[in-house]
Chain A
């Protein structure tokens, strides 16, 4: 023997109101959705059928109820039983084995949402040529469905829904609230909607193209819409017609740089009814420089109907819309290069994000986007024209370390340390024709400084040996090169990898346990150390090299080393501070001469 569960409708309604919908305001949308669908269904058979949706607010009904009339297809008594009173069952859907997240969508949500604001819902409906049927549902789950007595026959085909307010929720049924909500959700609907006799629909919708509307006027109309909806005057407007994914709309390009981390929310209409003003994830993530308004017939809303369901259809739509935006950028390069330049100035970040996987966009970045270099801002194309190989530093820290010195050696370097840049530069050789690139870091910079003649270098051996011995405990490698500016005695060069290695070594020495072993294992066999490069062109260094007093040379080397650290904005470890003290005091002592 089988039994059925008894479901307390009030409990379900409370569950929905607390967990599914952000606010009871959606009830107006659900009522309009029903009306629109009913009219659309009627018009499919009878294109001349009337198409009106009328809200009559409590002030006019006079009994505190809200009424909505539509001229749609109506329901028969059987349909009323089947559809208004069955919640949570759809045999067809069950067979298809819907995923769990679809579950709530199976409830008669449109109707249930009215119970958020009403204790009683009355429906009076009539199909063409059929009898008038009355259905009354109560929030506790009871309902009645009967053929109407003759005095309540409907003259017209259509449906009237009357809501008896739930106590303390009356304000949701107010004329002003209903007007506001009906306009918000329904202003783009294809059929006229009125509240208390005043129309709330305002067409044409942004995605509509009015034949014979001049381009200029369409632009103004859309710009005004954008100002109103998104609060900015667009740099440009891009059409997003994509019938293959059931989306039409327009994208508005922001007139000022956008932060890729900020929320990108679009207005989405579902069959011309507002789904949400804040849908995320409609466009690829690189497209953070536009806001769009679209109408979709295909994309699936979530159960709450306030967002889009993340599925392969949305993914296809995202790719297709991304393709439209990309096409607009490419076309702009052909039709209006100057404007493309302006666009790139503002929105280079988004284009860079796209260019990582897109050679055509990479070429545009190469041609149009200015990069920071140590010889001033340049586009990569300009850089290549002037200097050939595009040398770049993939890290901002390293760029800062080497920018000035490299510039002094007439070695232009691009700072590619910002978002996407090093990825992009490493792909320049993939362009056609290829662009040669080279990574430059502090360590590789030393190989670009002028080496001394071997005979000269040999004479420096004693100095180098002494300097190396003095600085061994600081873990640096000593070199001599000739470089500009001559006023710089020495250069401390530390690239990120070597610095990390140093940190690992220090970590391993600090810890005698498991972690000392682990960090030590990671440095085994590695010998790279930071470099201190003495400048052979610097008079002070020349003088230090010429010293015969080994102790004085040692003091000078320590002093020069610490100065190079400070110039390189390097932190002083205890061992460095000790060297500074020793050098400073030793030099002072010598300068002041033997004690009297």
Chain B
């Protein structure tokens, strides 16, 4: 059957009303197929353009690759007039694409570098700063264990001119914190990251708070790490796009004596691994899960029951049994990345991550404050107001709170 543009509009409209995830993605795919079949290239282009961001945010980079490459080719063929806004959106989308490419072990590295070169070429052609290009060159180097390359591009990133294609004010430092944390420059990481833990774009503050987990814990900022866990995890626990950040928060649980909470997270997110956003995000989650499960085994809870769901089938298993599975699968995945990267970086990193020793075992994650009085300020949390009432120009407002007389 061939659809008219009007019918396609309706179909597209319906697709956007479905929930983000498999339902909406499948419906969008259907729209593209019908538009292609009807030969409506411009409609197909616009529909795909708006879907690239959707696929990125839905944790579905494979679909983003497909839509992105289709649109890029359409722009180059120029068989219909391209809005200048669309070209710009594609330049922006390069960042999502390059972020995801190295996370698929089946995609050869030289292909990712070819996309980076294409990105740089197009940025230069448009007269844009290479800030974002450097950030993503750094990302790929960092991801593949190229320490010298990572350091080089990090310095380029630090000194390049920011422009409107740069990541948001919280995302750039998030990358920086990732870099610094991986070489254990933790104080510097906290200094750069901590001012940006209250948002910036749709990735934030979950991303920043997750990068800060290790720097916070290793510098003894336990209260910040716990607060970060609460805020970040609540905000992203339904979002498969954040699987790698969720993994960092799971790691937090394993490093702070919160194994019970960690086990709950594993039960909750394990079904996601049927269709992980990327193989690398799966690896991150599995290694963090392996740490939590190992801690449970070490503390004598290896026979604890856990519910494992996969493709809608739920089975009872034990901590011991799934630990074995998860470690084996993590090692296999890391091996695939190593084969692609032609080094042993990911295997070594993952082995070290799974073997991390707890930093504290007594960091409580209790939720709401109890009691009406906030009490004295917590000295470990500078910047936290002791007196939450508003300052004002008249003295009586500074006095202790007194009950209004009704």
Chain A interface (Cβ < 8 Å from any Cβ of B): 33-34, 37-38, 40-41, 43-44, 47, 51, 72-73, 75, 79, 82-84, 86-87, 90, 92-93, 96-100, 102, 105-106, 108-111, 190, 208, 243-246, 271-272, 297-298, 300-301, 305, 310, 312-313, 315-317, 319-320, 356-357, 392, 394-398, 417-423, 425-427, 429-430, 434, 437-439, 496, 499-500, 503-504, 507, 510-511, 514-515, 517-519, 521-522, 524, 565-566, 569-573
Contacts and interface: CB of A to CB of B under 8 A. Distances in A.
A319 B368 contact: yes
A244 B36 CA distance: 59
A539 to B, nearest CB: 25
Interface of B: 1-3, 18-19, 21-23, 25-27, 29-30, 32-34, 36-38, 62-63, 65-66, 69-70, 72-73, 101, 104, 106-108, 111, 114-115, 118, 195, 198-199, 227, 230-231, 237-238, 268, 271, 307, 309, 311-314, 367-372, 374, 377, 382-388, 390-397, 399, 401-402, 404-406
Contacts of B384: 96
A500 B399 contact: no
B108 A79 contact: no
Given A297-B401, A524-B106, A96 B385 contact: yes
A97 B106 contact: no
Tell me if A's interface is mostly helix, strand, loop or mixed. helix
A571 B29 contact: no
Given A246-B372, A429-B314, A396 B23 contact: yes
A41 B396 contact: yes
Contact of B405 (A33, A51, A315, A430): A51
Contact of B312 (A75, A93, A316, A437): A437
A140 to B, nearest CB: 18
B26 A357 contact: no
Contacts of A419: 19
Given A90-B391, A110-B392, A572 B1 contact: yes
B23 A426 contact: no
Nearest to B370: A244
A298 B388 contact: yes
Point out which of B26, B29, B268, B371 has the most chain A C-beta atoms below 10 A from its C-beta. B26
A557 to B, nearest CB: 20
Contact of A571 (B1, B18, B371, B377): B1
A521 B108 contact: yes
Contacts of B391: 90, 93, 105-106
A75 B18 CA distance: 61
Contacts of A500: 29, 62-63, 66
B158 to A, nearest CB: 22
A514 B404 contact: no
3 interchain residue pairs of minimum CB distance: A108-B393, A571-B37, A41-B396
A521 B313 contact: no
Point out which of B314, B370, B371 has the most chain A C-beta atoms below 10 A from its C-beta. B314
A70 B352 CA distance: 68
Nearest to A45: B402
Contact of B19 (A83, A320, A420, A566): A420
B402 A503 contact: no
A106 B314 CA distance: 56
A453 B282 CA distance: 43
B238 A423 contact: yes
A572 B37 contact: yes
Given A395-B22, A429-B314, A499-B29, A72 B396 contact: yes
Contacts of B118: 514
B402 A97 contact: no
A396 B17 CA distance: 11
Contacts of B388: 298, 300, 313
Nearest to B312: A439
A519 B19 contact: no
B106 A397 contact: no
Contacts of B32: 503
Nearest to B392: A110
A23 to B, nearest CB: 20
Contacts of A392: 312
Nearest to B32: A503
A83 B33 CA distance: 70
A521 B104 contact: yes
A522 B65 contact: yes
Given A357-B237, A496-B22, A41 B399 contact: yes
Nearest to B73: A511
Contacts of A437: 312, 314
B402 A44 contact: yes
Point out which of B21, B115, B395 has the most chain A C-beta atoms below 10 A from its C-beta. B395
